[in-house]
Structure 1
Amino acid sequence: MTTPMTVSAASTYQQLRTHLATLKLTTAAEQLPAVLDAATAEGLSLTAALERLLALEVEATEARRLAGRLRFASLPSPATIEGFDFDAAAGVDPALIGELATCRYLDSATNVLLIGPPGTGKTHLAVGLARKAAEAGYRTYFTTAADLAARCHRAAIEGRWAYTMRFFAGPTLLVIDELGYLPLPAEAASALFQVIAQRYTKTSIILTTNRGVASWGEILGDTTVAAAMLDRLLHRSVVLNLDGDSYRLRDHHARTDTLRRATTGTRRPLT
């Protein structure tokens, strides 16, 4: 049971809450009664009580900042590295992914290329690594190759090219997903090259593609630009080649097999 405050103590308490609110320490102001009660109940010193109160404010501030970084990152799914099925992903070294998840590669502006057929987990890994970067405090942005090209095309038409180039140069980590999945317009090669060139040796790119690097000239419609792009991407890079069955196809078979067992009692796999 809380001991009633004296008039003087109540006045001081209100002044303290006002100070916290004025300093925009909203969480500390909200948690002040609980922390004061805990200080009395647990016999905390003034220093310990103050540390507990400010720790709550710091925690809330960090949570808000992370939420802002994740909003800016525009990640397409809640995928995480912890949720990745390494057993089903041929060619993926868990130790290497664990090292990338530390985000140390960002300090040296190293790029990560994820190459493999559709459904092998490239986007899952890219999103998971982007989430780790945002959680570590790095500014991160996720886009597809097609969307990046379309945005640059609109910027050129509307006279916002320089602004758009600055935007794509800004994040410490830029994820470019699905290169090679959709046909790209003629100007896409130039846009992609300029984005990659301005980030070269300064900031990192994670790029996913279903086509080997030898096919990039065909994808971009310009072998010279493709070679120059690869030269910059591969200078400092980690290249992962993913193989195996599609995650979505495996999930489909698993669900169908579960349904068969539930309805017929047989465990014979579907073909």
Structure 2
Amino acid sequence: MNTPLTTTQTTATPVTTATPASVYQQLRGHLTELKLADAADALPRVLDQAQAEGWSLTHALERLLSIEVTATDARRLSGRFRFANLPTGATLDDFDLDAASGIDRNLLAELGTCRYLETATNVLLIGPPGVGKTHIATGLGHAAVQAGYRTYFTSAADLAARCHRAAIEGKWGTMMRFFAGPTLLVIDELGYLPLPAEAASALFQVINQRYLKTSIVITTNRPVGAWGEILGDTTEAAAMLDRLLHRSVVVTLDGGSYRLRNHAAQSNELRRVTTGTNFR
């Protein structure tokens, strides 16, 4: 005798309709879990605006995500500026071209586009103290950071000192990778301070590993013919210049000192205000 199969009936649990408040909390929780903190913070504002203005779901979602993207871009920009180690906030727009001598306006504008970085072209800024070399170098760094390029600013003396310390501590490879990393490396004030004997080797290694891959901006008060004297090694200086100049823009500046002009202008303004006399 066959035993009849027992049919078990299951009663479906009715689906509880989520309340708008719980859906809102879930949505905010999802955004937080996905680390979209700015979108989570903006959610109530965007929902209120969407309801008030009759936005579509697509429009509201686009507005919410655009807030997150804008905040992310701002954080990345801030991080690039922190890493860049720029000495001031000087930009190319701040540079007084009317007082400068030896620089082409069109050339400076072209450098400001950062297109030279796409071809790993180097920029050498040569001239006496005070003519604006560091200002231009800083401005180029500022433009590169704004354009999304990883940038690092250092003085020649600091670069040499850090490489020397790394060699002593057995971290030479790590230091070389650090200086090879940025798309733009700015080396300021080559020739201003005496460099130790090993500085030529350190500078050559940094320049050599970046050769035809990434760009370098160098400021110096000495003509390239005197670099052997600066570095204490004419052979290494020649090899360094061979790589730097292979694909480069050389800007020679002259004229009076920016700092002295600014000092004179400030003094003149102070006298004018206190005495009513304009000194020339």
TM range (shorter): over 0.9
Of the three residues 181, 187, 190, the one matched with 2:201 is: 190
Question: Per-residue CA shift, 1:233-270, capped at 9, x if unaligned?
Answer: 0000011111111111001100111122222222232x
Q: Which amino acid aligns with 1:115?
A: I
Aligned-residue CA RMSD (Å): 1.2
> Which structure would you say has the larger Rg?
2
Moved over 6 A (4+): none
2:101 is equivalent to residue 87 of structure 1: no
SS in 2 for 1:88: coil
For residues 106-117 of structure 1, the aligned pairs below 5 Å read: 106-117=117-128
Find 1:175's aligned residue among 170, 186, 204: 186
Secondary structure class of the residue paired with 2:92: coil
Identity value in percent: 73
1:148 alignment partner in structure 2:
159
Partner of 2:275: 264
C-alpha distance in 2 between matches for 1:25 and 1:212: 52
User: How far is 1:222 from its partner?
Assistant: 1.0
Supply the distance in 2 between the matched residues of 1:29 and 1:92 (Cα, whole angstroms). 50
Rounded to whole Å, the distance in 1 between the matches of 2:152 and 2:205 is 17
Runs of 5+ consecutive residues of structure 1 not aligned to the other structure: 1-5
Question: 2:62 maps to what in 1?
Answer: 51
Q: 2 CA distance for matches of 1:106 and 1:146?
A: 24
Amino acid at match of 1:75: L
Q: Deviations over 1:52-104 (max 9, x none)?
A: 11001000001111111111111111111121111111122222122111111
Instruction: Give me the TM-score of the superposition, normalised by structure 1.
Output: 0.95
Q: Does 1:130 align with 2:128?
A: no
1:107 shift after superposition: 1.0
Report the TM-score, using the length of structure 2 for normalisation. 0.92
Q: Provide the rounded CA distance (Å) in 2 between the counterparts of 1:29 and 1:94.
A: 46
Q: What do the CA deviations read for 1:182-217 (whole angstroms, capped 9, x no partner)? A: 010111011101110111001100000011111111
- How far off is 1:12 after superposition? 0.7
- What CA distance in whole angstroms lies between the structure 2 residues aligned with 1:92 and 1:10? 64
**Equivalent residue of 1:89, what SS?**
coil
Q: Which residue of 2 aligns with 1:65?
A: 76
Question: How many residues end up aligned between the 2 structures?
Answer: 264
Q: Does 1:23 align with 2:34?
A: yes
| Separation (CA, whole Å) in 2 of partners of 1:66 and 1:263 | 44
3-state secondary structure, aligned to 1:86: coil
- Out of 43, 46, 51, which is 1:32 matched to? 43
